[in-house]
Structure 1
């Protein structure tokens, strides 16, 4: 499904993302510096693994993938086969074997649904019926692949934050049967307004329970016919303009065998003042209900009002592809470490002042795909690890993580046998830094190992920028994380060895303003690659360590993904 911000905000160095168990190491040197071997304990001091991550390969692939004749690498277009042929050729040259059941490509079937002629949101049942216009007062769509959507006289139920978190003893749907009903849901988590991260839901740091994607998923699990989130700019971290622009055009989803008929009929948003009017008609007050919903033990409140909406759906189905390669393990080939990066970008986009309308996506994410091939070659040259290493170039990240979502729904390698791995998304040109920031907070046992690796390299941990925005849940690693595979992401910080924090922040702001998702994201011969190669050396070490270890890292006991990993490991052949 498409995200309101389908790509995470650039955090630190535009977010190099990684998941890995890591160990102590020698200080980072130049390309080809001896790197640490496998270890299962955070305190070990490994010896050389003899890696040589190729800078020339990184440069060559980044330049080629962001060339104008690839037209911005838009999926499901006439250019896709040429892009895929090039990636496959580089995977072969790096020493990979076909990883999709003997093939290089995993088809990713998608569906595009565009709501046409949407009605007003009509609310009735108490006094004068109310009507709220589409676009400026409410927006909505359907996940269901059906030619028309009609929600008629669906009883409204206020369900607080719409969260069911057994590990926290929290259930906003307790005691209510939602069949045929529409949930009215608050955005974010119950303790979002805290300055610290000490709350039950990690306070200021957003958890997955605060994401709008979770709220719609949970409403469907509860059997609801509809789900409506109350927009509020501060807890949402974006204005209504973002909601409106994101939900009034085509929406993209992974195709499912049941055409998504297990989902709600309608998912949507209303402006805060609209919610206030609806609740007032039910003799309720939004501020009072919000405060009540922030306490454990809150019970859903039927509003004795009914909602009705309707619209037609224009449906277009298509296929894109993930590219999959593998380096088989030598002693435990049925255990897998996964490396991923998305190959797609925006294709042709809004022209700049020169008339250039190709969003080349050099940083985002030609660098990540180049990193996949470079890591594959370095690992192949170093010899097989104990576990198999899988290299996955996924599609449709920019449309809402759909390539990784399809892989996670239809894994070629069982998720219960997938230990973890490394995901690369937008490696930023620039100098080496003194710091790295972890995104998502202290979520898993991988954090301890990562911190040990930083200390051993003379690096420091920086604070994550804007943890309230939920950046952890906006890149491809998340498709696996929410299914229990511990995923850990980190980004190069802004404290540059040459220039310090002021220079690092200026470079980050310049990219965001002038190149991110714009035609200006182009390859340049003048790029400083030293920071990217610092990332690559660390990523190689972390990934190879995990591939040679016997560790099965888990989430922290109170994390929202711990329970599903525990169930996965308890199953036959798991972990």
Structure 2
């Protein structure tokens, strides 16, 4: 189905639902509850909520206590916790990445020019004179007839790749998904594919527009302790990024004649290009194995208790890191104390309002900032059967500055969850739009993605385009300011004197009412034709 499906389909859907059982009353989300939990979770007391830290202990105990106070049952047997085994690797990267080239040797400087990490739990991991090979976008996509790794034995070599995918670069709607990022464009995919190809290293070239964030975000997110699930999947020894300026130095130093690497990468018959230079870098590791925790609470349904609606939000942030303007605590007020507080506020509304016929599950997942690890572990080890899970409603980084006219749905067109959200949005006097920046790949950047991968239709939305009292141009300025100066920075803090939560409350009320509507029905929302997640549901 075309993602911008027509009004007639929507009217038909809403019309057929009018005969369903209606909920005559609904609960209300409490702004006092929301504000209280955001302020507490984003306080310095919780130390940036980093997994494997004192901040984690405080956070998960707080959530356990609050769910218990509300009268929700433990969601994992007799426990509120699902243990998530992780390995923490704190790598000390050599200050220089040494580049040898026929045009002269030079160094790239750690943090300024490059960042690097390893997922291999070994004391020391590195590249030693590893041949650099430009691998285009680093994509192997048989359905598009695309293979950027073809024709090279990758053992011992390092792939240098572009971020995003060819559709973004060309805006050609017939190439991949045009301006909409596919999973092939995500950094996670590029690291995974390099491992599958047997490369020793993989280096992504950063560019702000196709990455959708600045070099400062790469610096803050790819340094310090890193977590990963224990896995037998192949991984490259070194995973890294280089700045655009550093990439230019590499290309300028390459002896090959055609320097227009970006254009070369857009050719469908592209083949990997040896760059004629070698790289050396080393990482010395401190390794710690431990278990982090997903926090799970259950409100049992009245009549169909074996069918589940899951609300999710990640409780973690980046902990204590490099100081910025003298502040080293990455509090994560918007990202994602807002969503975690939203779980508690919605749980309270369900307890006070009409009781759901289906069971409602609240999952605060760990290690989203490390690569959606908590939700990935849940997807691999589900507590509630996926085939009995009706839908997922995910909340991440809610920051609307006042009530918003729009409800922007990320992944619009994938499933009937769009129509459920539209019905409630219309009651609120709002209009629904698809994500206006699909090139940023937000559908693959939060925990709903892992629920979708196992076939569970997911809603990921928020008001973000136009306010009732604030115009779209002003909203864009505020969003850009957050992305540039607060996202993954210590400045993402909560100030009760200046923060307007009315828009977040508006969104939460919609999420609550979508779940309440689903809880009264006996059907499951469907994936639309053309969604890559439809097959996973049909296999259940």
- Alignment TM-score, normalising by the size of structure 1: 0.77
Correspondence list, 1:476-491, <5 A: 476-482=447-453, 484-491=455-462
Q: Are 1:121 and 1:138, in contact at CA under 8 Å, matched by a contact in 2?
A: no
Work out whether 1:220 is the aligned partner of 2:195: yes
What residue is the counterpart of 1:537 in the other structure? 509
Distance 1:505 1:128 in 2: 45
Work out whether 1:253 is the aligned partner of 2:227: yes
Distance 1:423 1:95 in 2: 22
Q: Are 2:408 and 2:465, in contact at CA under 8 Å, matched by a contact in 1?
A: no
What residue is the counterpart of 1:553 in the other structure? 526
Please give the per-residue CA displacement for 1:254-285, whole angstroms capped at 9, x wherever unaligned: 24055x6x21112223432244246x42x352
Q: Are 1:24 and 1:452, in contact at CA under 8 Å, matched by a contact in 2?
A: no
Work out whether 1:294 is the aligned partner of 2:266: yes
What residue is the counterpart of 1:431 in the other structure? 402
Distance 2:229 2:349 in 1: 36
Please give the per-residue CA displacement for 1:407-457, whole angstroms capped at 9, x wherever unaligned: 334433344554431112233364322212223454444335544544454
More deviation in 398-407 or 218-227? 398-407
Q: Are 1:445 and 1:556, in contact at CA under 8 Å, matched by a contact in 2?
A: no
What residue is the counterpart of 1:468 in the other structure? 439
Distance 1:266 1:193 in 2: 26
**Over aligned residues, Cα RMSD in angstroms?**
3.8
Deviation at residue 100 of structure 1 after TM alignment: 2.0
What residue is the counterpart of 2:66 in the other structure? 90
Work out whether 1:370 is the aligned partner of 2:344: no
Distance 2:208 2:29 in 1: 45
Please give the per-residue CA displacement for 1:240-260, whole angstroms capped at 9, x wherever unaligned: 55545554x3241224055x6
2:458 is paired with a residue of what secondary structure? Answer: coil
Distance 2:497 2:341 in 1: 16
336 and 171 in structure 1: CA distance in 2 versus 1, 3 angstrom threshold: farther
Q: Are 1:106 and 1:323, in contact at CA under 8 Å, matched by a contact in 2?
A: yes
Aligned length: 521
Q: Are 1:340 and 1:393, in contact at CA under 8 Å, matched by a contact in 2?
A: yes
Distance 1:101 1:438 in 2: 34
1:133 is paired with a residue of what secondary structure? Answer: strand
Distance 2:454 2:511 in 1: 23
456 and 24 in structure 1: CA distance in 2 versus 1, 3 angstrom threshold: farther
Choose which of 28, 33, 42 in structure 2 pairs with 1:53.
28
Deviation at residue 526 of structure 1 after TM alignment: 7.4
Deviation at residue 81 of structure 1 after TM alignment: 3.2
Please give the per-residue CA displacement for 1:196-218, whole angstroms capped at 9, x wherever unaligned: x7242232332221122211111
2:154 is paired with a residue of what secondary structure? Answer: coil
377 and 137 in structure 1: CA distance in 2 versus 1, 3 angstrom threshold: closer
1:539 is paired with a residue of what secondary structure? Answer: helix
* Structure 2 unaligned spans of 5+: 1-8
What residue is the counterpart of 1:340 in the other structure? 312
Deviation at residue 145 of structure 1 after TM alignment: 0.9
What residue is the counterpart of 2:467 in the other structure? 496
Q: Are 2:125 and 2:283, in contact at CA under 8 Å, matched by a contact in 1?
A: yes
1:120 is paired with a residue of what secondary structure? Answer: strand
1:436 is paired with a residue of what secondary structure? Answer: strand
Distance 2:498 2:217 in 1: 35
Deviation at residue 324 of structure 1 after TM alignment: 0.6
2:363 is paired with a residue of what secondary structure? Answer: strand
What residue is the counterpart of 2:179 in the other structure? 204
